[in-house]
Amino acid sequence: MGKRIDVMGEMFTAVPFGETRFFGLPCVYLMVHEELGDMVIHYAGQTQRLDKRYASHHQLEAAKARGATHALVLVVRDAEDRRAFETMLRWYFRPPLNAEDVPSHMQGWRAAMHCGKADIAELARAAHMSCSRALLPPTAGRPMVARG
């Protein structure tokens, strides 16, 4: 498989889009491309089987048009855990191609607590208490989100 990328303390595997058909495991995934050493995130999702999901993904062409070349994949077998991790990713990164509403701060907090990510949960709680978007700590090499 491809190289490993740390996202929120979890090691995701970079899988070129052309190889997702060989990845038949349940996972959380990000559609990304690399830019100046960072991963630019276009979409976050979760699925029971990546190979079947990517075969007809509704945002794959849009992600490719924005430059996406890889899926960052984290195997997560439990469906509830996958949904929570996806919610946390969508709250934290706000990928532009996710059509669903951005999760609320409290949804982000619940998802982060479920995933054992106390630092992310605290950011979500602080954002909820201040009624604003929490300031994220500067992290070198942190994945970034494509805008535009």
Residue 34: Cβ-neighbour burial (10 angstroms; 0-12, 13-18, 19+) = middle
Type of residue found at 141: G
CA distance 123 to 38: 22
DSSP state at residue 116: T
pTM score: 0.85
For residue 84, what are its two tokens?
A: 């929570």
Instruction: Convert the pLDDT of each residue in 35-64 to its tens digit.
Output: 988 889 999 999 999 999 887 899 999 999
CA distance 41 to 92: 11
CATH of domain 4-132: 3.40.1440.10
Give the mean pLDDT of the chain: 87
Q: Look at residue 1 and tell me whether its pLDDT is greater than 70.
A: no
Instruction: Convert the pLDDT of each residue in 72-114 to its tens digit.
Output: 999 999 999 999 999 999 999 999 999 989 899 999 999 999 9
Type of residue found at 144: M
- Domain range summary for the chain, segments of one domain joined by +: 4-132
Contact 54, 21 (CB under 8 A): yes
For residue 14, what are its two tokens?
A: 């970079």
